[in-house]
Amino acid sequence: MSESALQIKDLSVHYGGIQAVRSINISLQPGEQGTLIGANGAGKSSTVRAICGLQPYSGEIFWQGQSIKGLHPNELVQKGIVLVPEGRGIFTRMTVLENLQMGAWHRRDRTHVRHHIAQLMEQFPRLAERKQQLAGLLSGGEQQLLAIARALLSNPKLLILDEPSMGLAPIMVERIFEVIHSLRTTGITLLLIEQNARLALQATDHAWVMDSGTIPYQGRSDALLNDDRIQQIYLGELPI
């Protein structure tokens, strides 16, 4: 098997006396789409925050074979590790276009950035129509699209989406998952954090189920989708 893109070894996260993540292991291959699913408070965001340099931890996290422990979040972005945080983190008092430009803050190739923005405007016509509007005036779904488009402008190698469907109307959830699907052709390695376990399992290759800081189940997403225990516990389906 080829070298992992992302490898998390014995990761633990503490908040004072509370242990939110308990010695978990995750490994994603280059270009693979993975998902971390589980209920509220399972430890998903804590795991993501550790990967992105936003949270101290014990254990090791390797990116393309090298430890990234202790690196600043900006250094991690420069290595291609880009987070779309829960709540989207867009700049509501800046325009759509300015938000997109912010995504390219570390890129020197200004001509390529302009082309990239034009290409994203084609891919996301809703953003093109509203490019001079303040981002705070967009709907929740449009803000999520903007957050993803802005992350793509960072040229991510590992894109982490934390709860992208949260609070969105069903039609926008569908659109967000179409976008996730379209990322398959880009070679970007994806880690999707989701409470909507069914959609996440349908969209990805591999899944880790988090529960109280541990990973009791993991495997191919399609296998977990058809697993009786997963269906009963996490997909809300009663045995027949």
Where along the sequence are the contacts to ligand ATP (CB under 6 A)?
A: 15, 18, 20, 38, 40-46
Nearer CB in complex with ligand ATP: 45/144: 45
Nearer CB in complex with ligand ATP: 158/215: 215
**CB 158, min distance to ligand ATP, A:** 18
**CB 87, min distance to ligand ATP, A:** 10
**CB 37, min distance to ligand ATP, A:** 9
Helix axes 96-103, 140-153, angle to 10 degrees: 30
**CB 31, min distance to ligand ATP, A:** 25
Nearer CB in complex with ligand ATP: 34/38: 38
Distance (Å, whole) CA 11 – CA 26:
9
Nearer CB in complex with ligand ATP: 41/73: 41
Q: What are phi and psi of 186, to 5 degrees?
A: -90, -15
**CB 212, min distance to ligand ATP, A:** 8
**CB 208, min distance to ligand ATP, A:** 12
Burial 201-227 (b: 16+ CB within 10 A, else e): bebbbbbbbbbebebebbeebeebbeb
Nearer CB in complex with ligand ATP: 44/206: 44
How far CA 8 is from CA of 19, 63, 104, in Å, comes to 17, 9, 27
**CB 193, min distance to ligand ATP, A:** 7
Nearer CB in complex with ligand ATP: 44/150: 44
Nearer CB in complex with ligand ATP: 84/153: 84
